[in-house]
Amino acid sequence: MAEKYSKSQFEFANGALLTRAPAKINLYLLVADKRPDSFHNIETLMAKITFYDELLFEVDKAEDIELVCNGLWSPVGEDNLVYKAAKLFYESIKKETQIRITLTKNIPAGSGLGGASSDAAATLLALNKLHNQLLSNSQLHKLAEQLGSDVPFFLDGPQALCTGRGEKILKKDNISPFLAIVILSNLSVSTKTIYDNFKVDLELFEVLKEQIKPLLSKNRVDLVQKMCANMLAKTCFAINNELALLKTEIENICHLPASLSGSGSALFVLLAGKDYRKAEYLRREIESLLDCNCIIVFNNQW
């Protein structure tokens, strides 16, 4: 069943390169002190999931960088991370720019699923592929760090421990398979607002870190997720009471913990094993009783 949902990242068709940009969930997220660069130090286990934006790259179809956006709302032109990533790439290889990029958005903005960061990483990878791998992996990572804290994670994967402001990546070799229901409500939250209102608790950070460490060493990601260890959740739910209520309602339906991904607003429920029938039943129950969209996802393979 997981194979049915997992798709390849790159496909060539009619001289164009179709590239998929997967969403992610945070299986846990710990937030520590604020850094001199105004970011916070974090520790998080991120996992790519089988839910994708799509980007089509057509070389020599434009005089410069042309970005077309379809699907869900996304900023256009130079405000889009895809455009910024393409511009940064071409500046790095010092080549003339002639590329048309069509971005089809499926991953909602402001959901904590990393759609924009994934799109930027996919752009770097795709352009490097189209230009005969001119840049090394380390060079791509340096470009990714300039684009956003989560972008470097999406260059590799599919699961990794991310620290610093999120740019320090320790790839997880022992991949934890999972099946999850991702709940996409109409509610939105601002990452900046969440972090601006977040109160640092270094004692809690260390306590949670010590509790999680032995579980990770045994690859018990399922037990980690049951902790719902997202230190941004308290702030997020205090700011958005509707989202807090939604979490409670989901847990009443599923009888399982619902976790916030990143700074929200997406919530997810991990199911033991890979009981797709149960996942489909719960997905229908949530959609029929609550005003939100639900998707069933697996851990991504790449």
- Provide the annotated active-site residues: 24, 150
Q: Which residues contact 204 (CB under 8 A, 6 or more apart)?
A: 231
Question: For the chain, what's the residue count?
Answer: 302
CA–CA gap between residue 198 and residue 195 (Å, rounded): 5
Q: Are 46 and 154 in contact (CB under 8 A)?
A: no
DSSP for residue 92: H
Q: Both tokens of residue 194?
A: 């969440």
Where does 151-201 have alpha helices with state H?
151-155, 191-197
Range 93-97, long-range pairs (CB < 8 A, 24+ positions): 93/131, 93/134, 93/135, 95/131, 97/64, 97/65
Buried b vs exposed e over 69-86: b needs ≥16 C-beta within 10 Å? Answer: beeeebeeeeebbbbbbb
DSSP 3-state of 61: coil
